[in-house]
Structure 1
Amino acid sequence: MDMQIFRAYCSIRSFYLFRVLLLSLVALMVFTCFFVYQDKSETPSLGFWDKQMKQTQDQPVWKPEFLGEVNMHVFEDWCGGSVHQLRTNVQYPLYPHIRTTISRLAVSAGWKNYGLRIFGYLHPRYSGEYIFAIASHNNAEFWLSSDDSTKRIKLMAYLGKSGNEWAAPGEYEKFASQISQPVVLSKNTVYFFEVLYKQSEGMDHLEVAWRLNDEKSTFEVITAEYLSRYVDESNILLVENNDIPQTKASQRMSPDPVSKSAKPQADMVKADPRDFMYRIPLLNDLYLENVFPECEYYPLHIFDNETIERYDGINYVHYSSVYPNDHTRLAHEGIDKEICFYQKDETYDKGGGFGQFLKIDNRLEDEETENTNNPKWKQVFGVNASDFHAKQSDFVVNTCNRAGNIVMIKKQVMPVVEAFMSQLNKADTTRDLVLKRVLNVEKKTDDAVGSRYLLELELENTQGDLILLSKYFYALKDKNKKKNLELPTLCSPKGFYWNPDTIVHVILAVKNQGRWVMHFIKEMEKVYKATGDKNFNIILIDYNSTDIDVEKELKNANVPSYQFLRLGGAFGRSPGLQAGIDLVKDDNSILFLCDLHLHFPVTILDSLRKHCVQGKMVFAPVVMRLECGATVQAPTGFWETMGYGLIGIYKSDIVKIRGMNIKEFTDKWGGEDWELLDRILLNKLEVERLNIRNFFHFFHSKHGMWNNE
């Protein structure tokens, strides 16, 4: 009985298996016929959809509704006409200003100074050999993959590399590079592609065309029926970039000059020992105990009057001098821009240009003078050495915003360094330290008082350990002592020192600047990664941004700590900064009233600590404002000598001066920095002013900014 039941079960099971196989075969035939019909109707193949379901996670899943258009990213207000310059944009490729789509590969926005990145999939109508062509004003590139993968992309055609090349609309044969070699495409395969375009001035246009490789075909712009999107970006924030493809075509320059392998052109961004001082352990204060006599603190260049004219404070700020040359002078920009640096020289200012510095030797041999084949080839001249840097002053720095810091010469500095070493080693032979390098010396002088120095020296102890001295000293003026060759006597100013452990709060107010907020966070992560400095905190005040979840991005950031506050209403820089100031409860910490669009040196935290002295001095670092198209690696522009929007100040001191002026600058800005400076000076605080190496303000689009709403 059991055997009969088993046989019956097997028969029934076989019957059902047969039916399942039969139905599967019929379904497969219908499915195949459907796509054969689709191919015959000359519409794009949808077999790609099945393949996309198996894609790795680094490419989003394709959907049929992506057909008919491709993704386009716009990078606005960026100068230059070359694709290379597009790649140098600090926002490229992850933070476009606009994300949109287009239905054909032909764009003319009627705009200037922008870049485009267009990407998606091609769906060929026929199988065969295709030739591609590109035309644009200015430069453009067309890249194509051998299939749907973003990893196998190759450059097929391009127009220009320098930014000066261009072609008329539809002019595909002006340059040989505009037309590709034949490439075999299959109608059953889809192909990832990418187009890059950089426009400067003139009538903008970009078009990509294709044709079959036969005599009868002509180039036609690629239109909607052969295109599909790479990803749906219709419902995402501008700062969400997980699905933006990273390809060989989209590779960009590194924003950090320290990690750049190629040698930079400008001396200012070349490696300098100052850039790495934070790696050297600081000298223990016990080494200096009872070595240098304490002297009273004498403020240098404080404002003497009880009242001040509105915005007049900028005329009472004095720069410090530095040694050795920090190359903050923008000497790489050419004589036409840098001539102001020389025009302040007395000899040059008399007229006659540089020729008057030459002392021509007119004693030429008679026979050579008479020989018309050699007019003056043997002419020689004499010249005196001239150190234009040593002739600089505050006036030069302020009136020539490419001059950089005032640079001291060696003979001005070494007597002070020798005085330090002499006093130190005379105090106790067991403390013997050897001077290895003079890393940095800063000097500020008041004729009535004397000079104050920040000495930063690399020393070596008897065990061979390197130690960093970074301390302020006075060399006070002795009115009863005649000038002689003796070394100056250094003393330690009472209460005038910097604390390497002081917490620095970087305060920023933002609204709908998500791309730049992401950049700012990455800059802070860079500083933390390089220095390991845990004693800083980010304070972001957000005026209800709709393009980014600021708090979420801060939570995900690799920084020691942060504070976040959301405000409503119209954006106001002063009220926003004041809200951040109010969040800080520790009067003994430093506040850095900051801005977006900045590239920070990794030394920024210690720079703030060294130049902020509680109750005595605030720091107004000078940032270099990059011109349109300039980069961190090739910086051109000018020092923002008139700007005081970046201020480092102790919390107790900003409370003393009554904080930001939120009554006059409620929802506007421009002048709030000068007004704050006036009150800093009225409260008898010194203002330290220096140009900071590798501290840049990026050129950026003004579209969407708060004052343009």
Structure 2
Amino acid sequence: YEQFLGEVNVHVFEDWCGETVDQLRKDQLFPLFPHSRTTINRLAVYPKWENYGLRIFGYLHPGENGEYIFAISSDGNSEFWLSENESPEGLKLLAFIGKTGTEWTAPGEYEKFASQTTQPVHLERREQYYFEIIYKQSKGMDHMEVAWRLNSEDSSFEVITAAYLSLYIDDSSSMEMDTDTISQTLATQFLSPDPFLKPEVDMVNEDPRDVIYKIPLLNDSELQDVVPSCAYRPIYIFDNATIVRYEGINHVRYSTIYPNDHTRLSDEDMQGQLCFYKNDERGGFDSYLKIEGEPEGKTKVIEGEEPKKNPKWNQVFNVNPVDFNSKQNDFCVNTCKKAGNIIMQKKDAMIIVDAFMRHLQSKPNNDLVLKRVLNVEKKYNDTEGTRYLIELEMENREGKSVLMSKYLYSGAMKNGDPLVLCNAKGFAWNPEVTVHVILAVKNQGRWVKYFIKELENVYKVTGDKNFNIIIVDFNSHDINIEKELKIAKLPSYQFKKLDGRFAKAQGIQVGVDLVRDDNSILFMVDLHIHFPPVLIQNVRKHCVQGKMVFAPVVMRLDCGATLEAPKGFWETDGYGLVGIYKSDMDRIGGMNTAEFTDKWGGEDWELLDRIILNKLEVERLNIRNFAHFYHSKRGMWNKT
């Protein structure tokens, strides 16, 4: 006990934007994965830093019995929590500075806000009282102090010093990834948003596609003869025999989808929004306003005043409805990183759905009834025709929902040609195929633990047993990854340890070589990613052996942005996250480990070049809730 006296615990969370304490609680690493653990010997800090958060905790030991008044001061928002005894379970918020991030105080300024000071609290000299301080700093002068005084007229506030402090726990020797010693209390809990408030961003609203895995899948054999078969013809492949290095990114085409999945970042600032509209073929907005006549009415002139120079408030004009979402193209999606998926018009989607349903209803003994259209994806080529992925929720004769998820083709049509649907031979997705999620890492322990927890959640929510985690570790010293995998609740995993400096291409290829089943899918990923539960099934749907690979687009979140308030941009230039069958990966030669030996950056584009040269189609879509968290690059991929 005595060796704990004179200090309190400090956990530091780096490189996280935002000015409120609630913003710190939204950090994916808070409170379990601090970037550093240290101690202080008085409740005052002045590190001259920015974009960080602190959790300070330990015990108070009053010098005498009596009523105490506490006060907190900080530049940035902060909170002081105190328990009625030594137990963290009795914590109560007693004082705080601000909730919006605009509030601040000068050093030692304890009476600027009423919320800064507490009501009198009775403390006993021989007791110890657990406390916590949560502090969030953005930019500017950073400081935080907690002071106390006796509840008497002649007392004044003094910063609480070492004589009255002790540690909650000695965690100075703990491994960075040891979370067993980190308590979670009321002070650390994420404050959920009010369920009655409308979300700030449309994309966080529920979409049936997010939980489509909950609907039992209709066996493809039940749909075998609904439409006639036809030969597979790729919708878009690269025709040349050679390609300029890194030119493959210019030969990837996006599908259009229905209904709107709200992946367009429409809450962004005006400058960010203009790129979306500038890509419209007309350019600007004036051409959408149709002036229909001279201004109506007269301007009233008040005696003694000059008449107003603009009577045009009554200008007569008209506008027609414009569907900007469906007017976008691949160029817009790639260059305007706020645009999101290209949205198909309802009439275009329903033409295909209605045609399929007519085929289905013409079959004898059919008992399926259309309940709702969940998802339609379309890829078009004016010479080869159109491919669709159609996903319909159907109801069988027992009244139970089933999911129809199937690729269909229609040939190239001239004006007036009837729509003819067919089932392309050999082009179908396998709902049972194993997906191997491959990750190469070094000294990123806190994020590796987060990665494992994310995939644990996918397994817990979906019950999907047909995926396997492969982690290749370049001798990390901050975490025992194999131990973490053993205790995790995952369907299966593989682990390989390598020596030497981190080499991403080599690490991925080692993971690829661990897969023995040529008929399984490799999904190569990065750290710092949120995996929506539907993602693994999405990878299966968009990978077709010998024919198509999947390169889902991840949303790169801004510093301080969260899944609940996702601000950022779509990483349309990145191809580091890609799904491909093992047989196809072997056929194109795997990762380029000869050239990318001890560097990374560009290995994904080089791999894409060879995918395209080998006549594989590349499916590309922005995936809702598939997000890359902002993170510090400090100490990343230690080269030693």
One-letter amino acid of the counterpart of residue 151, structure 1:
E
> What residue is the counterpart of 1:619 in the other structure?
550
CA spacing shift, 1:432–1:676, aligned 2, 3 Å: same
Shift of 1:629: 0.6
Q: For residue 275 of structure 2, what is the aligned residue in structure 1?
A: 340
SS in 2 for 1:146: coil
C-alpha distance in 1 between matches for 2:316 and 2:39? 66
Aligned to 2:509, what secondary structure does the other structure show? helix
Are the structure 2 counterparts of residues 605 and 262 from structure 1 closer, same or farther at C-alpha, using a change threshold of 3 Å? Answer: farther
Is the 8 Å Cα contact of residues 131 and 213 (structure 1) preserved in structure 2?
Answer: yes
For the structure 1 residues 283 and 143, does the alpha-carbon distance in structure 2 shift closer, same or farther, using more than 3 Å as the test? same
Considering fraction of residues, name the structure with more helix: 1
Q: Distance in 2 between matches of 1:485 and 1:221?
A: 83
CA contact (8 A) 2:79 2:97 kept: yes
| Aligned twin of 1:311 | 246
Aligned partner of 1:197 in structure 2 is 135
Which residue of 1 is the match for residue 259 of structure 2?
324
What is the CA–CA distance in structure 2 between the aligned matches of 1:702 and 1:342, rounded to whole Å?
34
Question: Which residue does the alignment assign to 1:644?
Answer: 575
What TM-score do the two structures reach when normalised by structure 2?
Answer: 0.96
* Alpha-carbon distance, 1:580 to partner: 0.7
1:484 maps to what in 2? Answer: 416
Amino acid at match of 1:346: E
Structure 1 residues 541 and 199: CA distance shift in structure 2, 3 A? same
Structure 1 residue 414: Cα displacement: 1.1
Aligned to 2:187: 249
* Whole-Å separation in 1 of the counterparts to 2:581 and 2:356: 29
2:360 aligned partner, one-letter code: L
Is residue 533 from structure 1 mapped to residue 464 from structure 2 by the alignment? yes
Where 1:404 maps in the other structure, the secondary structure is coil
Counterpart in 1 of 2:505?
A: 574
Structure 1 or 2, whichever has the larger Rg, is 1
> 1:472 aligned to 2:404?
no
Question: Quick one: distance in 2 between partners of 1:660 and 1:285?
Answer: 34
Local SS of the residue matching 1:702: coil
Which amino acid in structure 1 is aligned with residue 27 of structure 2? N
What's the CA shift string for 1:486-532, capped at 9, x where partnerless? 4x111111111000000000011111111111111111111111110
* 1:30 equivalent in structure 2: none
Aligned residue for 1:607, secondary structure, equals: helix
Letter in 2 for 1:397: V
Instruction: Report if the CA contact (8 A) 2:456-2:489 is conserved.
Output: yes
Alpha-carbon distance, 1:333 to partner: 2.1
CA contact 1:575–1:666 (8 Å) conserved in 2: yes
Question: 2-side partners of 1:587 and 1:91: how far apart?
Answer: 37
- The alpha-carbon deviation at position 612 of structure 1 amounts to 0.5
CA distance in 1: counterparts of 2:268 and 2:339, whole angstroms: 11
The DSSP-based 3-state class of the residue aligned with 1:332 is coil
The residue that corresponds to 1:564 in the other structure is 495
Distance in 1 separating the partners of 2:296 and 2:460: 68
1:281 aligns with one of 216, 233, 247: 216
**Matching residue of 1:399:** 335
CA-based RMSD:
2.0
Partner of residue 120, structure 2: 182
> Structure 1 CA distance, aligned partners of 2:179 and 2:15?
21
Identity of aligned residues (%): 63
Give the whole-Å Cα distance in 2 for the aligned partners of 1:86 and 1:708. Answer: 30
Residue 323 of structure 2 corresponds to: 387
Between the aligned partners of 2:316 and 2:26, the Cα distance in structure 1 is 45
Q: Could you say which residue in structure 1 is the equivalent of 2:585?
A: 654
Contact 2:394-2:403 at 8 Å conserved across structures? yes
What does the per-residue CA deviation read over 1:336-357, in whole Å, with 9 as the maximum and x for residues that have no partner? Answer: 32221111123343xxxx4553
Q: Which residue does the alignment assign to 1:157?
A: 95
Residue by residue, what CA displacement relative to the aligned partner does 1:49-81 show, whole Å, maximum 9, x if unpaired? xxxxxxxxxxxxxx2211111100011000011
CA contact (8 A) 2:554 2:570 kept: yes
CA contact (8 A) 2:22 2:191 kept: no
Taking structure 1 as reference, are residues 285 and 631 closer, same or farther at Cα in structure 2, changes over 3 Å only?
Answer: same
Q: Indicate if the aligned counterparts of 2:13 and 2:53 stay in contact, CA closer than 8 A.
A: yes
Question: Aligned to 1:225, what secondary structure does the other structure show?
Answer: helix
Distance 1:327 1:658 in 2: 37
Q: Residues 593 and 646 of structure 1 are in contact (CA less than 8 Å); yes or no, is this contact kept in structure 2?
A: yes
Structure-2 change in CA distance of 1:570 and 1:406 (3 Å): same
5+ residue gaps, structure 1:
1-62
Please tell me whether the aligned partners of residues 93 and 252 of structure 1 are also in contact (alpha carbons under 8 angstroms).
no
- Give me the whole-angstrom Cα distance separating, in 1, the residues matched to 2:195 and 2:616: 40
Q: Give 3-state SS (helix, strand or coil) of 1:93's partner.
A: coil
> Structure 1 residues 148 and 464 mapped into 2: Cα distance closer, same or farther (>3 Å)?
same
* Partner residue in 1 for 2:447: 516
**Preserved contact between residue 525 and residue 559 of structure 1 (Cα < 8 Å):** yes
- 3-state DSSP class of the match of 2:282? helix
Secondary structure in 2 matching 1:676? helix
Task: List aligned pairs for 1:368-383, cutoff 5 A.
Answer: 381-383=317-319
Q: Which amino acid aligns with 1:344?
A: N
Q: Check 1:397–1:708 CA distance in 2 against 1; reply closer, same or farther (3 A cut).
A: farther
Q: Specify the alignment match of 2:64 in structure 1.
A: 126
Maintained 8 Å contact 1:498/1:611: yes
Matched, 1:500 2:435: no
In the alignment, is residue 416 of structure 1 matched against residue 387 of structure 2? no
Following superposition, the deviation at residue 216 of structure 1 comes to: 2.4
Instruction: State the alpha-carbon separation in 2 of the partners of residues 448 and 220 from structure 1.
Output: 80
Q: Give the partner amino acid of 1:182.
A: P
Please state whether the residue corresponding to 1:706 is helix, strand or coil.
coil
- The 5-angstrom pairing of residues 54-203 of structure 1 reads 63-203=1-141
Structure 1 segment 441-460 matched on structure 2, within 5 A = 441-460=376-395
Contact 2:441/2:637 (<8 A) preserved = no
Q: Distance in 2 between matches of 1:253 and 1:534?
A: 33
Query: Match for 2:109: what amino acid?
Result: E
Residues 232 and 425, structure 2, Cα contact 8 Å, conserved in 1? yes
Quote how far apart the aligned CAs of 1:590 are.
0.4
Distance 1:695 1:247 in 2: 29
**Partners of 2:332 and 2:216 in 1: CA distance:** 36
